[in-house]
Amino acid sequence: MKVVVVDDDKLVGVSLKTILEASGEVQVVGIGCSGQDAIDLYRHHKPDILLMDIRMSSMSGLDAAEIILASDPAARILFLTTFSDDEYIIRALKMGARGYILKQNYESIVPSLKAVYNGQSVFGDDIVSRIPDMLQKNRKPDFSKYGISEKEAEIIALVAEGMNNKEIASALYLSEGTVRNYLSVILEKLQLRDRTQLAVFYYKNQ
């Protein structure tokens, strides 16, 4: 498995070469320290995988990846990051990168490379754990932590469907006044001002 490593910090590049080659299954055919290096090394060596830092002083890893993927959409690019920065990761995903690994997590680098080599994509749990939330459009949020009762939650859900008090009342077989009272309590508990903020809260916490 031929790999090109690109990291802003040259020392990291060399260390990685040592670590990776110690596995006996990876051959580091090039080490670079800028986005431009990444492009040049990739085009010259055509490695199986390009392992690259996201943040680099000269050209960002993302920009480099964009250029590489534009000319070779099959390029397997795996990012190395220090922190999992949402914005970056999502941009990386969009452009078709194969994942990212936290630098701290040395032991997982070789297995991750192999998984990518075999056509998988690899991500840290922190990102993956957020994906479901992003995908999930129709689930009811859990408001119990705010001391919201079952009935109150029902009303919240109806407000979040755009119903007015009269409609909610008739849907739940309550008087309109009761619905108002409930709503008043709900707003107090959630520290919100009006039903629109409640709907917003609902969807932002969905």
Residues 136, 170, 175, 181: which binds a copy of itself (CB under 8 A)?
136
Query: Rg for the chain (alpha carbons), in Å?
Result: 25
Rule CB under 8 A: say whether 98 interacts with a copy of itself.
Answer: yes
The phi, psi pair for 12, rounded to 5°, reads -60, -40
Nearest to 122 by CA among 139, 132, 110: 110
Residues 40, 149, 171, 189: which binds DNA (CB under 7 A)?
149
The b/e string for 79-118 (b: 16+ C-beta within 10 A; e otherwise) is bbbeebeeebbebbbebebbbbbbbeeeeebbebbbbbbe
CA gap 165, 126 in Å, rounded = 40
The binder of 165, among DNA, a copy of itself, none, by C-beta within 5 to 8 A per type, is DNA
Tell me the closest approach of the beta carbon of residue 40 to a copy of itself, in angstroms: 26
Q: Applying CB under 7 A, which residues contact DNA? A: 149, 151, 164-166, 169, 173-175, 177-178, 180-181, 183-184, 187-188, 193-196, 198
Q: Applying CB under 8 A, which residues contact a copy of itself? A: 90, 93-96, 98-99, 101, 105, 107-108, 111-112, 114-115, 117-125, 128-129, 131-132, 134-138, 159-162, 164, 192-197, 199-201, 203, 206
